[in-house]
């Protein structure tokens, strides 16, 4: 028997009068749960970063306050035993509970690099054929980077921009209500940061301290993996609180009618490779190959 709209309305009215539970259908509760999750949970709460001031990123691991700083450096193609010894000495001088991370970040955001190459090739070039050749090469590089394609068939040649970083996170174990202890700890952090800069410079790594703009840029690339890095950088305004600027507005979650939760920008697929095991202790040359390869 076909149920008409009037019959359905009478059934709903009868349930309301009898104070029965309204019938939302099989998919109503999942949709409501998903909407509640999106409304109550803020992506910024997933990260420990609070603010950026005086060259430090202020963090909170849930137990103790922390500050951190980062360096971008140029790796050495070949390094001797003395480089490994200098890095080990630097680790030894670090304050207690300091976390040191060496990172190599590969990104398809090669627009700036290609633009620089193209400008230099065309600066004194007057030949129309060579100019067209430069334009085609530039576009081929950009297309390969954006579409994750190889530059040559049957080869694994993917254009990437690679940056090398060293991050240092320092933990405060003193009394958070004692100004004297805080000033003393901050002075220790400043001295350690200067010693790190000096050590990296003496090793010929050309270190550069990461400022607030650089920290935002790095975190935005990590927290918005579904977006093209070059496009993501162009959307960075540098306004607002540091923690609020990490996630782009297109990374916000939305709820579909089926109850599934997706990114607002879901045109690209993202594969996440988690790391759940702590690496076993090894020598310094093995733990930071991005910095040196002992010979």
Do 219 and 165 form a contact (C-beta atoms < 8 A)?
Answer: no
Give, in order, the Cα–Cα distances in Å from 163 to each of 67, 71, 148. Answer: 22, 11, 18
Contacts of 190 (CB under 8 A, 6+ apart): none
Q: What is the DSSP letter of 244?
A: G
Measured CA to CA, the distance from residue 10 to residue 2 in angstroms comes to 14
Neighbours of 266 (CB within 10 A): 12
Do 227 and 251 form a contact (C-beta atoms < 8 A)?
Answer: yes
Measured CA to CA, the distance from residue 166 to residue 190 in angstroms comes to 16
Q: Which residues pair with 144 in a beta bridge?
A: none
Domain locations in the chain as residue ranges = 111-159
What does the pLDDT read at residue 281?
A: 45
What does the pLDDT read at residue 22?
A: 46
What does the pLDDT read at residue 256?
A: 63
Q: With a cut of 50, which residues of the chain have pLDDT below it?
A: 1-2, 19-22, 24, 27, 269-270, 272, 275-295
Measured CA to CA, the distance from residue 148 to residue 143 in angstroms comes to 8
What does the pLDDT read at residue 43?
A: 66
Short-list 262, 265, 232, CA closest to 250: 265
What does the pLDDT read at residue 17?
A: 54
Q: Which residues pair with 190 in a beta bridge?
A: none
Do 43 and 153 form a contact (C-beta atoms < 8 A)?
Answer: no
What does the pLDDT read at residue 194?
A: 93
What does the pLDDT read at residue 75?
A: 84
With H, G, I as helix, E, B as strand and everything else as coil, classify residue 158: coil
Measured CA to CA, the distance from residue 128 to residue 246 in angstroms comes to 44
Q: What is the DSSP letter of 102?
A: E
Short-list 255, 256, 254, 233, CA closest to 245: 233
How distant is the alpha carbon of residue 145 from its chain centre? Answer: 19
């Amino acid at each position: 028997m076909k149920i008409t709209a009037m019959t359905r309305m009478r059934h709903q009215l009868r349930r309301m009068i009898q104070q029965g539970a309204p019938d939302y259908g099989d998919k109503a509760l999942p949709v409501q749960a998903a909407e509640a999750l999106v409304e109550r949970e803020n992506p910024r709460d997933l990260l420990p970063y609070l603010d950026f001031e005086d060259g430090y990123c202020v963090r909170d691991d849930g137990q103790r306050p922390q500050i951190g700083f980062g360096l971008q450096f140029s790796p050495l193609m070949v390094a001797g035993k003395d480089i490994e010894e200098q890095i080990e000495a630097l680790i030894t001088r670090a304050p207690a509970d300091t976390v040191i991370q060496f990172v190599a970040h590969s990104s398809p955001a090669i627009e700036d690099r290609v633009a620089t190459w193209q400008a230099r090739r065309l600066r004194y070039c007057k030949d129309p054929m060579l100019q067209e050749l430069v334009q085609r090469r530039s576009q081929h590089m950009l297309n390969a980077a954006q579409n994750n394609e190889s530059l040559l068939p049957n080869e694994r040649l993917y254009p990437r921009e690679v940056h090398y970083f060293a991050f240092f996170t320092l933990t405060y174990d003193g009394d958070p209500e004692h100004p004297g202890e805080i000033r003393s700890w901050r002075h220790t952090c400043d001295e350690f940061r200067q010693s790190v800069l000096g050590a990296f410079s003496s090793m010929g790594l050309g270190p550069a301290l990461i400022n607030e703009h650089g920290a935002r840029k790095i975190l935005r690339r990590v927290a918005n993996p579904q977006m093209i890095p070059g496009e993501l950088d162009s959307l960075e305004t540098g306004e607002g609180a540091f923690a609020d600027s990490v996630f782009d507005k297109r990374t916000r979650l939305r709820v579909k009618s089926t109850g599934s939760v997706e990114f607002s920008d879901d045109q690209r697929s993202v594969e996440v490779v988690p790391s759940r095991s702590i690496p076993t202790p090894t020598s310094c040359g093995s733990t930071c190959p991005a910095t040196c390869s002992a010979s």
